[in-house]
Chain A
């Protein structure tokens, strides 16, 4: 959205010459990256689609055939898979909502001046920078553990011997996973919202002040509309990353106690059950679901890009 970018849009450096050779010369530097990405990340999806129509279990290498929809029948009649869909959607929506709201609140706090603001901002970012496996282990063992975790330890310190000693990883492991994810993703949401807050056009606020608008009105009618696309972007990006999350489930519960998410089910079908056909069928379904989400995400991102170049 800077001035140079805007200029460039209207007058390209090199006047466009519709000669094929020139066009390919301009494109050439882009091709290695593009081809590399397609080869490594897109071709596998195509192969996954093919395998999903195959009868292929690694335990029975002599019994491989093509041309069956049995895998999809298995998948759609499997109660566990339906459960995994619900768990994935619930976990993602819950984590994204909670971390977006927290992120917004904290961004508003950090947007004001106070002593040590830069330092507090750095503190806020650090949870996001803990290796996910390490975060999962930390919470599972050092914080949630019923006999020597920090939470129950603090309860004992405060209320003595008879303090309640909840065992979150047994009673509600999904909530435990959710808490770790919220802890890690709130900083991400906060950073995007803060960037949004700091890009507010100030003249509007001055006008509002002159017009005698109160703080709530200013927030409701100026800040929030301006932030809307940042909130959308944060939520959509968060969804993309969190829906694919594998590390927390793998490390904290190994998919037990009703915490298996779709990525974990794919891993399990492939690595443990070794049913390549079913694993691929789940994969295809996940890709289709992601494509639907991605369409919305792309629309948001494209508004931002258009504004940058307008």
Chain B
């Protein structure tokens, strides 16, 4: 830190800890609550600040550069993609994307993408319903020992699921549901449930108690309280929870590899087999990786403000 003030003005937004409002600069008269980005104020033109800003830009670009390289390579022809030195300015073409979607050589990716989408979306819906119900018990009804329940759920998340892989495989085999959507949906729902309960609990806990009391005094019954009060108030939280569950399900590889073979195989599994079965086509590998990452990139960037809360299971806001 080379500049002297670290600084007071940067933080008009005390997110978690309530603080007495300080009579600070003109910008901090009414601190907006829990905003990730403090509003910028111009006119702090100091060389150090500018340098640190540039450094931040540099680091950001450095971190995103592998992705940009992936994009550029996917837009090059195969012959231009694997040269040394790289053909940075080779003509762009959509050839690899066309090939990936079955225009030329190789397997059709659509069944895999559809399997992934079904497993991720259906499991996410199941998780949303069950976790909201559970969170209602934990956050609103405040059942006894609610925090014990939460910590039990958290602890399940800390045990490596790989240790239960074999029993899951054997049981699924005996039920005859290996290589089905159903099995993936069950596994992904259970995998994401603890995170979702933690997230939804922290969102429901933010609903002002007065609102619920007023509704109870009015004699509103539970379904109405749920639909008309809780759901609108927690809609952003629900959306964030959904996106996180979707991302984890979409990314999952281990269980998909072991529990599916042909009928229900998912996009990440397809991606791993893509290289070995077809030899290396660098441009096509990049195109495939990009396409399979797009749903997660879109979901994640859309949910970025809630990403922390989700990943820390609601512990950090």
Spell out A's residues near B (CB within 8 Å).
1-5, 7-8, 12-14, 16, 23, 26-30, 32-34, 36-45, 47-48, 51, 106, 108-135, 137-139, 141-143, 147-148, 150, 152-154, 156-157, 183, 186-188, 191-192, 194-196, 198-203, 205-206, 209, 214-216, 218-219, 223, 230, 233-234, 237, 240, 243-244, 246-247, 250-251, 262-263, 266-267, 270-271, 276, 279-280, 283-284, 286-287, 290-291, 293-294, 297-298, 301-302, 304-305, 308
| Docked-complex contact A192 and B308, CB < 8 angstroms | yes
Interface 9-mer from B91-99, B100-108, B130-138: B130-138
| Docked-complex contact B63 and A153, CB < 8 angstroms | no
Tell me whether A5 and B300 are in contact in the complex, defined as CB-CB below 8 angstroms, given that A44-B164, A199-B17, A263-B160 are known contacts: no
- Cα–Cα, bound, A109→B63 (Å): 14
- Cα–Cα, bound, A235→B274 (Å): 34
| Docked-complex contact A153 and B86, CB < 8 angstroms | yes
User: Binary interface profile of B, 265-299, with partner A (CB < 8 Å = 1, else 0)?
Assistant: 00110011001000010100110111011001101
In the bound complex, residues from chain A placing their C-beta under 8 Å from that of B247 are 129
- Cα–Cα, bound, A308→B74 (Å): 47
Which chain A residue shows the least CB distance to B136?
A29
Tell me whether A129 and B296 are in contact in the complex, defined as CB-CB below 8 angstroms, given that A113-B38, A191-B308, A205-B8 are known contacts: yes
The majority secondary structure among interface residues of chain B is helix
Tell me whether A215 and B3 are in contact in the complex, defined as CB-CB below 8 angstroms, given that A48-B166, A276-B166, A301-B151 are known contacts: yes
- Cα–Cα, bound, A279→B280 (Å): 32
> Which residue of B144, B161, B197, B288 is within 8 Å of A23 (Cβ)?
B144
- Cα–Cα, bound, A1→B15 (Å): 10
| Docked-complex contact A202 and B251, CB < 8 angstroms | no
Spell out B's residues near A (CB within 8 Å).
1-20, 22, 24, 28, 36-38, 40-41, 44, 49-50, 52-53, 55-57, 59-61, 63-64, 66-67, 69-70, 73, 81-86, 130-131, 133-134, 136-138, 140-144, 147, 149-151, 153-171, 186-187, 189-191, 193-194, 197, 205-210, 212-213, 216, 247, 250-251, 253-254, 257-258, 267-268, 271-272, 275, 280, 282, 285-286, 288-290, 292-293, 296-297, 299-301, 304, 307-308, 311-313, 315-317
Give chain A nearest CB distance to B140 CB in angstroms: 7
| Docked-complex contact B63 and A124, CB < 8 angstroms | yes
- Cα–Cα, bound, A301→B202 (Å): 13
| Docked-complex contact A290 and B158, CB < 8 angstroms | yes
| Docked-complex contact B52 and A109, CB < 8 angstroms | yes
Give the number of residue pairs across the A-B interface with Cβ within 8 Å: 418
Give chain B nearest CB distance to A242 CB in angstroms: 11
